[in-house]
């Protein structure tokens, strides 16, 4: 299921408004978030009004899910919001997440210090949270909020974990709640490792698909992978698992890893090229010129005859992504197309650009996922030569044309280096 979505972040609207009001000598302190501070309240409500106006405009041209990202921690505010949204014929789901775990709070504040555009220190965030807690009213499924659709996720310091789900009225709502429940929403930062398999015999022969073994250089990469991870601070006592596809080349790449768990997923198998499986791009262009062009024109939607499109792959990897949301310290060894989809998910790359991202062989990718959708990428090169399997638009040759600056999506990964 693919749904169009857009985030409307109240903090962004509040910052925009305040930036125009404050000069360099004044700035917002934590008391701004005290509900008795009328001036602060007015500015925050105004930020909501502006976000709602933009959201309304967005819904005029889009069907989908808008995410109103702000704190709605009192009943009266939620009532106001619900009425405003219903006037726009928008039916909301409220999402509440609660924890009284002080260690988690510390972790979250430290992550905010690193990535929040507010650029404040520990004391500020601690004080801001205290101000919120003073007036905080949890969602109430028994009284005046019994008709609201909401999910309330609780993770307490004593180990209790619970979710309360209220009034789910549609398939889409249940899908959203399922997704939210799978998010490791209170873990503020996690690390995910990605790698393509080592160079395969088919890669050398410029053939796509198939189930070939690693080339000699591919095997060298497999042997070096444990060392690369160690150099990045991974130590063998860390609990780390590797997920591979069920194909020979990813399993061979994982064979020297000192992990307890190596899990093969069929969902991580390479995009199925159907009738074209085992062919080179040149052969495809010669035999199926119309298909070849059609794929270049809309690579995300194009489905190989008897095979898959990138869109199909995105849907197929959904269970892997759900599991990944719950985990940290996972190394995924998979294939060019599948890695593009996973990478695009974390890096927020638009769908039409994702099939054109360059993900080179023999390179370990470290993704540090942080709040505010920020993701730090490090590329760790193994320095073992490999062919390029990248095909530019409009040609059947493989290998990147570094002089072609017009292909901006190709450079997305390289830019983060």
Q: Which of 142, 139, 136, 102 is nearest to 122 (CA)?
A: 102
Closer CB to ligand F6P, 229 or 247, in the complex: 247
Q: Whole-number minimum distance, CB 270 to ligand F6P, in Å?
A: 5
Q: Which of 305, 330, 316 is nearest to 270 (CA)?
A: 316
Whether residue 373 contacts residue 367, with contact meaning beta carbons closer than 8 Å, is answered with no
Q: Whole-number minimum distance, CB 391 to ligand F6P, in Å?
A: 5
Residue 335 binds ligand F6P (CB under 6 A): yes
76 Cβ neighbours under 8 A, 6+ residues apart = none
Q: What is the distance, to the nearest Å, from the Cα of residue 200 to the centroid of all Cα atoms in its chain? A: 28
Question: What are the C-alpha distances in Å from 203 to residues 43, 210, 218, 390, 413?
Answer: 58, 10, 10, 10, 20
Residue 208 binds ligand F6P (CB under 6 A): yes
Identify residues 89-108 at the interface with ligand F6P (CB under 6 A).
Answer: none
Q: Whole-number minimum distance, CB 262 to ligand F6P, in Å?
A: 20
**Size of site (CB under 6 A) for ligand F6P:** 12
| 3-class secondary structure, 149 | coil
Count of Cβ atoms closer than 10 Å to residue 411 Cβ: 17
User: Which residues belong to the active site?
Assistant: 197, 270
CA distance 383 to 225: 11
Q: Whole-number minimum distance, CB 295 to ligand F6P, in Å?
A: 8
- Looking at the DSSP bridge assignments, the partners of residue 377 are 367
Closer CB to ligand F6P, 314 or 337, in the complex: 337
Element containing residue 161 per DSSP (H, E): strand 161-166
Q: Whole-number minimum distance, CB 27 to ligand F6P, in Å?
A: 48
Report residue 413 as tokens: 């990964």
Element containing residue 262 per DSSP (H, E): strand 261-264
Residue 273 binds ligand F6P (CB under 6 A): yes
260 Cβ neighbours under 8 A, 6+ residues apart = 239, 241
Report residue 408 as tokens: 């901006």
- Looking at the DSSP bridge assignments, the partners of residue 293 are none
Q: Which of 76, 23, 68, 73 is nearest to 47 (CA)?
A: 68
Closer CB to ligand F6P, 70 or 210, in the complex: 210
Element containing residue 379 per DSSP (H, E): strand 375-381
Residue 249 binds ligand F6P (CB under 6 A): no
Specify the stretch interacting with ligand F6P by CB under 6 A; choose among 5-13, 170-178, 335-343, 365-373.
Answer: 335-343
Closer CB to ligand F6P, 72 or 389, in the complex: 389
Which letter does DSSP use for residue 398 in this model?
B
Residue 391 binds ligand F6P (CB under 6 A): yes
Residue 240 binds ligand F6P (CB under 6 A): no
Residue 291 binds ligand F6P (CB under 6 A): no
Specify the stretch interacting with ligand F6P by CB under 6 A; choose among 116-124, 131-139, 162-170, 330-338.
Answer: 330-338
Residue from 192, 337, 359, 384 touching ligand F6P (CB under 6 A): that is 337
Specify the stretch interacting with ligand F6P by CB under 6 A; choose among 38-46, 115-123, 183-191, 201-209.
Answer: 201-209
Closer CB to ligand F6P, 325 or 392, in the complex: 392
Q: 102-115 and 122-135 are packed helices; what angle lies between their axes, rounded to 10 degrees?
A: 120
Span between the terminal Cα atoms of the chain, in Å: 33
CA distance 251 to 246: 7
Annotated binding-site residue numbers for substrate = 196-203, 249
Closer CB to ligand F6P, 34 or 389, in the complex: 389
Q: Whole-number minimum distance, CB 212 to ligand F6P, in Å?
A: 10
Closer CB to ligand F6P, 128 or 197, in the complex: 197
Residue from 145, 173, 199, 270 touching ligand F6P (CB under 6 A): that is 270
Residue 271 binds ligand F6P (CB under 6 A): yes
Q: Whole-number minimum distance, CB 273 to ligand F6P, in Å?
A: 5
Residue from 188, 209, 218, 360 touching ligand F6P (CB under 6 A): that is 209
Site residues for ligand F6P per CB under 6 A: 203, 208-209, 270-271, 273, 335-337, 355, 389, 391
């Amino acid at each position: 299921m693919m749904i169009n979505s857009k985030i409307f972040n109240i903090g962004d609207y509040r910052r925009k408004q305040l930036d125009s009001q404050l000069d360099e000598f004044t700035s917002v302190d934590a008391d701004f978030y005290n509900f008795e501070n009328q001036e602060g309240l007015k500015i925050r409500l105004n930020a909501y009004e502006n976000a709602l106006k933009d959201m309304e405009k967005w819904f005029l041209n889009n069907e989908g899910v808008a995410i109103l990202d702000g704190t709605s921690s009192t009943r009266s505010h939620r009532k106001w919001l619900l009425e405003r949204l219903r006037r726009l014929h928008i039916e909301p789901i409220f999402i509440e997440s609660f924890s009284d775990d002080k260690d988690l709070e510390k972790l979250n504040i430290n992550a905010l210090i690193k990535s929040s555009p507010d650029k404040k220190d520990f004391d500020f965030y601690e004080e801001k949270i205290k101000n919120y807690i003073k007036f905080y009213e949890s969602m109430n499924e028994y009284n005046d909020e019994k008709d609201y659709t909401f999910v309330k996720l609780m993770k307490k310091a004593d180990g209790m974990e619970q979710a309360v789900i209220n009034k789910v009225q549609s398939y889409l709502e249940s899908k959203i709640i399922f997704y939210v429940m799978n998010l490791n929403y209170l873990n503020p930062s996690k690390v995910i490792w990605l790698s393509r398999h080592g160079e395969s015999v088919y890669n050398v022969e410029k053939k796509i698909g198939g189930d070939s073994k690693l080339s000699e250089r591919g095997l060298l990469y497999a042997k070096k992978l444990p060392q690369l991870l160690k150099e990045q601070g991974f130590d063998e006592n860390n609990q780390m698992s590797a997920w591979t596809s069920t194909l020979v080349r990813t399993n061979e790449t994982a064979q020297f890893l000192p992990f307890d768990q190596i899990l093969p997923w069929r969902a991580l198998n390479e995009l199925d090229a159907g009738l074209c499986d085992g062919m080179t791009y040149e052969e495809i262009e010669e035999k199926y010129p119309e298909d070849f062009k059609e794929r270049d024109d809309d690579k995300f939607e194009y489905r190989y005859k008897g095979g898959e499109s990138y869109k199909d792959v995105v849907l197929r990897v959904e269970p892997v992504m759900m599991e990944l949301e719950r985990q940290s310290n996972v190394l995924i060894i998979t294939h060019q197309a599948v890695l593009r989809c996973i990478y695009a998910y974390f890096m927020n790359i638009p769908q039409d650009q994702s099939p054109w991202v360059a993900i080179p062989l023999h390179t370990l990718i470290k993704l540090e996922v942080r709040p505010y959708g920020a993701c730090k990428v490090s590329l760790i090169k193994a320095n073992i030569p490999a062919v390029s399997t990248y095909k530019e638009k409009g040609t059947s040759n493989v290998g990147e044309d570094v002089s072609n600056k017009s292909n901006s999506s190709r450079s997305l990964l390289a830019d983060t280096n």
